[in-house]
Amino acid sequence: MNGYYRLIAAFLLGGVTVTGFAPFYFYPAPVATLVLLALLWRTSRTPMQAASTGFAFGMGLFGIGVTWLYVSLHDFGHMAPALAVRALIVLCAYLSLFPALAGGIAALRYFRASWAWPGVVAALWALMEWLRGTLFTGFPWLAVGYSQAPDSPLAGFAPIVGVYGISLLLMLSAAWLACWLENRQNRRFWLWLGSVWIIGFSLQQIHWTQPEGEPVTVSLLQGNIPQNMKWEPEHLAATMRTYVRLVQESPSRLIVTPEISFPLYYEQAPRDYLGLLTEHARSRQGDVLIGLVERSPAGDSYYNTMFSFGASPEQSYRKYHLVPFGEYIPLKPIFGWVIDVLHIPLSDFSRGGLDQQPLNLAGQRVAVNICYEDVFGEEIIMQLPQASLLVNVSNDAWFGHSIGPHQHLQISQMRALETGRYMLRATNTGVTAIINERGKVLEQLEMFTTAGLHSAAQGFGGATPYVRLGNSLLFGLIGLLLLTGCLAAFSGKRKTL
């Protein structure tokens, strides 16, 4: 295959990989596309050709998988169409550098000729995904491990090695299959492949955490406030009427509203209005979580905050992991002009602390995370194992009628798997849902409807290995595979595949 067709094939493979993620949930698709990508890398003439193949794969994956960003930039950020497209292309090109680097290194002659090549490829892939999710505050969206939640046998590894560990095992499986396709006489790859997937299935039968106490009744409210009207002063009264009605219709002890459900500073919220919400929560011996903007006493900083009102003492959680260019502007001397291009209200939030503790609400210990924060599993576990429930509040109205909200739901499913906890999602326009400790969506509201999801959630105690160790096992596995690969490649006794 010449270079031109190779790049087209890699781009298409990246695009097809998107079908492994929500809302499609076809988890075998990334297995097949990564097998073919590994074959393209093995047949590359030079590391540079392999790198360009990895780059094309990334452009297909991200170019199709994160198209919802155009909706955020153009439809709601009012960025000119041409500029929004260019911004999306630049972001996808940056994200594609990581699979390009993995492919370029894996195609080095000494690695490619070694029996340890599948492990090297898998370690490099997982390392690049982790770097992508960490550098410059990180963008871990579409890590291929998410595509295996919740039904793939590989999802059984989530409570042990987390999403990046699943990415490693997925690429390891793909590299083994690629090597078998190249040399069908070598059947040991089938033994290794079968062992990993059987172990994953077996791990799914293990209950790493245990129920604590009786289930708590919960109401997750979906106000369905149009994003283009949310911050308009003339629409504020209608928004507040919507949520007071939804709260007062809620029969539950724990009531959750979405991120910044009331587009107000805390001190601007009418006391009699908050009193109505507090009184209703107390009548249920419970609490209500309300999203508001919190301004510092000096007025020089403000926070994206969830406040609790009700039977428990008032508590709050401030968002820690902010969205670059959405909630703060990095390197203002260089990128300050973005504020004038993107018409995003309150685009310079301050960070809350990383050491915040779970909120004691309705008899549960609730670990709150706001919107984009649940993409970072290593940060979610900072409130565990103390927390008995996870709560994510979001405003995915920024994504419009795209696949973005569904992908975000699948990310929450992975967090539930990693931690062995229920995840409760209250969003403005959807997907509002209850996810159990096995990553299964038990109930959800129809998107773009004004309603409350009234049900029950079980609190859990205990800790999965991932909660206790974080990414330590992942890094140990990456280091072991890379060390083995280097020893096999440069020992002078290399055994070819």
Of 27-41, 42-56, 332-346, the poorest mean pLDDT is in 332-346
Question: Any catalytic annotation for residue 440?
Answer: no
Decide: 161 and 168 in contact? Cβ < 8 Å. yes
**What are the tokens at 79?**
């960025």
- The region of weakest confidence among 26-35, 283-292, 297-306, 469-478 is 297-306
Residue 259 annotated as catalytic: yes
Question: Tokens 């004691």 map to which residue?
Answer: 360
pLDDT single digits (tens) 47-56: 999 999 999 9
Q: What CATH number is given to the structural domain containing 265?
A: 3.60.110.10
In a domain, 362, yes or no: yes
Of the chain, the percentage scoring pLDDT greater than 70 comes to: 94
What is the distance of C-alpha 263 from the center of its chain? 25
Token duo for residue 177: 């299959």
**CA Rg value for the chain:** 24
Q: Choose between 336 and 94: higher pLDDT.
A: 94
Closest CA to 99 of 189, 33, 163, 161: 33
Residue 73: which domain range? 3-207+470-490
pLDDT by residue (tens digit) across 70-81?
A: 888 887 777 889
Catalytic residue among 129, 294, 319, 378: 319
What does the pLDDT read at residue 409?
A: 98
Is the per-residue pLDDT at 464 higher than 80? yes
Which residue among the candidates 129, 259, 373, 418 is catalytic per the annotation?
259
CA distances (Å), origin 394, targets 50, 109, 143, 175: 39, 47, 20, 37
Q: Which H helix or E strand runs over 147? A: none
pLDDT at 340 over 70: no
User: Do 362 and 410 lie in a common domain?
Assistant: yes
- Is 319 annotated in the active site? yes
Q: Evaluate whether residue 289 is within a structural domain.
A: yes
In the set 92, 371, 373, 378, the catalytic residue is 371
- Asked if residue 44 belongs to a domain, the reply is yes
Average pLDDT over residues 26-36: 98
- Say if 121 falls within a structural domain: yes
Token pair 């960490």 is found at 134
Q: Rounded mean pLDDT of 234-241?
A: 90
Residue pair 306/329 in contact (Cβ under 8 Å)? The answer is no
Q: Are residues 44 and 68 in the same domain?
A: yes
| Residue 147 and residue 249 in one domain | no
Mean pLDDT of the residues in the chain:
92
366 and 247 together in one domain: yes
Cβ neighbours around 15 below 10 Å, total: 18
Read off the pTM: 0.94
Residues 144 and 21 in one domain: yes
Instruction: Determine, yes or no, domain membership for 497.
Output: no
